[in-house]
Chains A and B, each alone.
Chain A
């Protein structure tokens, strides 16, 4: 609730229209580019405009904060904005997790002519049996899907061919060479380090804050490098690509969007890091850092879900 009348409402701003223009160019450019890959120029232009505007916009917000224009109430608006933005991100991932569960549990059973879940149908429905027998003869329910329904029915003429090797748990003997485990370790650790940094800031321990924030950024970068390594491995040695049926589809989309969010989170933490070097943030004025930290915890939680549902559970 408001108690004072000094809520800062900027009189006018050129940033929104510039950002909207950049965003529009990005959308138009992205569509142009997926249709004609030789024309990425509008997309690049839009991205540039957007990047420049975002930098200037946030720079202005930071300056306003330093000038003391942002009162407690306005800061609370920022907090609410960030929290609900993270909630919307949760729902974005929910769509992909939901798709994964539906595909794994229900669709996969029906394609193989089996019953899906006990409470719905104990015995396979006629439709599921016919679906398997008439459309995808020979397909057996399996996860990871190493042989797609297309392959089962059409052999070598299939368009969608399963991967040679999946990313699942390779057995205890090979556990140390299993990249996802290292990635989990790195990301979980980074969630702790960002918390240590936060504690440092709360206790006015600047050195602890800056050091551990720097370490968190570093861990974020290591995670991204490892994930790039994992993708290279998948494409070059495991035959696991976007085209390798539903396993490759869900694997790359879920981990890919997570990776994109880690990238975004790392950039946010990096900005917070450079600001901390300039002496920004105090124990009672730390929204810029705190929001990055919340975002970081969010990508971490998503990773735990991914690790379980995409990698571990067979």
Chain B
């Protein structure tokens, strides 16, 4: 392990084989992050097409069939291609550094988990060019729309889901094994940074629910091609079964996306408040409670499907219960900032925006959890606005904060603070212009996933589209900032890039050497 990683100076061949054959957690983390950014741009392009078409009523740019494919692919690419791999990338980079491990527990499998993803998304994206078009049934792919009435390419979609699920399971097993087995001496569970805690709980969720998703798509595959009747009442099955199986995966999935985001914010807010995290252990327990509750609330996505009243009531109250541990978290973040000596660097700005906007998204979630009221909100733009507040202002803002926060440690260069802050404000303003009006549209009755709408919705849709374009532009600025930092950023020499930062990752040199903690550090 003496020589360092191959660089471009060693020639193309060596450079490419470094990345393709790597077993290094930092390399693999970098691969994940760049891949997820590429997918973010792709999914973002789909979103821009959607918003361009919805800029005004009537059909302008694309056909409704293609619009359906865009909504579906936007959701799939963003959830499975952009947000999840982004956090896996952060986990790869940071977990070994945070717990004082030399690498991930199973380094070769780590590389396999990553390299499955490009194949999965190549298959998924190629469906757009197939006869009959790509998946057009929404990212939740409800049967029978995704079975009886699906285009032929649904089979490619199914197997793409299968292999990206396998990738997620391997990645999670790796994270669990790393955290359980690779902690430095003295790094007890209750000393682990919160990012590690949230990720290991996320990994448990992933190992538990990705196989259920595999089961759901397998049932689809059998119904489509082999004459079974899981989702067909004629044979004694039930299309609602699909929704139950899907949301048993799907609800934990949304926490899979948001829990690592909680972890990131719980690292950043103490750093820039120059205070330790308030209520560390309650944060851990709250995360575990949220994870547990995520398994028993799935049918709140299906209030209008015709469940017995007892079921509606149970899922309503169970869902509201989630507000308790989530409230604990929000309270702790705010209390961490209380009386701290705060500074507002870009990562902190994104984190504070996260707390505010995520809480806002949480409140609309509470509104949606009221079964009786959901009869009105269900499948409207109110839902779209709700989950974009938690997915974008939640997960994506937190991911962006993480990039700004750790980029100096990764590459040894400091980003341009002015550019970072400009990017934040463009993203923040653009996001709210894009999604705040969608609440109004939804409450006024505009259904989601339609290529056209009534004239009464025209104004807010135009506003929303303008906001979406601004927000899209903010991502190009993010790319620009990151590339400029890597190429021309001001070198950082301190190990501890941020003066208020705590943790093992700030004890290694800047930029982080290729191999760290080959001798485990002592944690007191």
Contacts and interface: CB of A to CB of B under 8 A. Distances in A.
Q: Chain B CB within 10 Å — which of A21, A73, A77, A120 has the most?
A: A77
Interface string B225-242: 111111011111110110
Contacts of B118: 20
B181 interface: yes
A9 interface: yes
Q: Chain A CB within 10 Å — which of B107, B120, B162, B176 has the most?
A: B107
Nearest to A61: B108
Contacts of A2: 101, 181-185, 520
Nearest to A5: B519
A81 interface: yes
Interface in A50-102: 57, 73, 76-78, 80-81, 84-85, 87-89, 91-92, 94-96, 98-99, 102
B105 interface: yes
A80 B222 contact: no
A185 B216 CA distance: 31
B208 A1 contact: no
A149 B159 contact: no
A87 B207 CA distance: 7
Given A24-B116, A95-B215, A5 B518 contact: yes
Nearest to A144: B236
A127 B103 CA distance: 57
Nearest to B230: A249
A136 B235 contact: no
Tell me what chain A mostly uses at the interface: helix, strand, loop, or mixed: helix
B169 A98 contact: no
A169 interface: no
Contacts of A242: 222, 226-228
Contacts of B241: 99, 102-103, 107
B21 interface: yes
Interface in B426-456: none
Contacts of B214: 92, 95
A110 B70 CA distance: 36
A313 to B, nearest CB: 17
B205 to A, nearest CB: 11
A91 B169 CA distance: 12
B406 interface: no
Given A9-B1, A10-B107, A13-B23, A103 B215 contact: no
B20 A17 contact: yes
A89 B211 contact: yes
Contacts of B212: 91-92, 94-95
Contacts of A116: 308
B219 interface: yes
Given A27-B160, A95-B245, A111-B233, A12 B22 contact: yes
Interface stretch (A28-36, A204-212, A263-271, A294-302): A28-36
Contacts of B209: 91
Contacts of A26: 159, 163
Interface stretch (B150-158, B268-276, B354-362, B370-378): B150-158
A120 B115 CA distance: 47
A175 interface: no
A13 to B, nearest CB: 5
A172 B115 CA distance: 55
Interface residues of B, number: 88
Contacts of A120: 308, 310-311
Given A19-B112, A34-B221, A149-B235, A81 B105 contact: yes
Interface in A143-175: 145, 148-150, 158-160
Contact of A1 (B24, B185, B225): B185
A73 B176 CA distance: 14
A150 B20 contact: no
Nearest to B27: A12
Nearest to A21: B119
B123 A28 contact: yes
B102 interface: yes
Contacts of A57: 108
Interface string A187-216: 000000000000000000000000000000
A13 B108 contact: yes
B418 interface: no
Nearest to B310: A120
A39 interface: no
A246 interface: yes
B166 interface: yes
Contacts of B173: 80-81, 84-85, 88
Given A16-B108, A16-B111, A80-B176, 12 more contacts: A1-B185, A5-B102, A9-B103, A13-B23, A17-B21, A20-B116, A31-B156, A77-B182, A81-B109, A92-B212, A95-B212, A253-B222
12 contacts: A5-B102, A5-B519, A23-B163, A24-B123, A80-B180, A88-B207, A103-B238, A107-B238, A150-B235, A246-B236, A249-B228, A253-B219
- The 5 A-B pairs with the shortest beta carbon distances in the complex, nearest first, are A24-B119, A95-B215, A246-B236, A160-B235, A20-B115
Interface of A: 1-3, 5, 7, 9-17, 19-21, 23-24, 26-28, 30-31, 34-35, 57, 73, 76-78, 80-81, 84-85, 87-89, 91-92, 94-96, 98-99, 102-103, 107-108, 111, 116, 119-121, 125, 127, 135-136, 145, 148-150, 158-160, 241-243, 245-249, 252-253
Interface of B: 1, 17-18, 20-24, 101-103, 105-109, 111-112, 114-116, 118-120, 122-123, 152, 155-156, 158-160, 162-163, 166, 169, 172-174, 176-178, 180-185, 187, 207-212, 214-216, 218-219, 221-222, 224-230, 232-238, 240-241, 244-245, 248, 306, 308, 310-311, 518-520
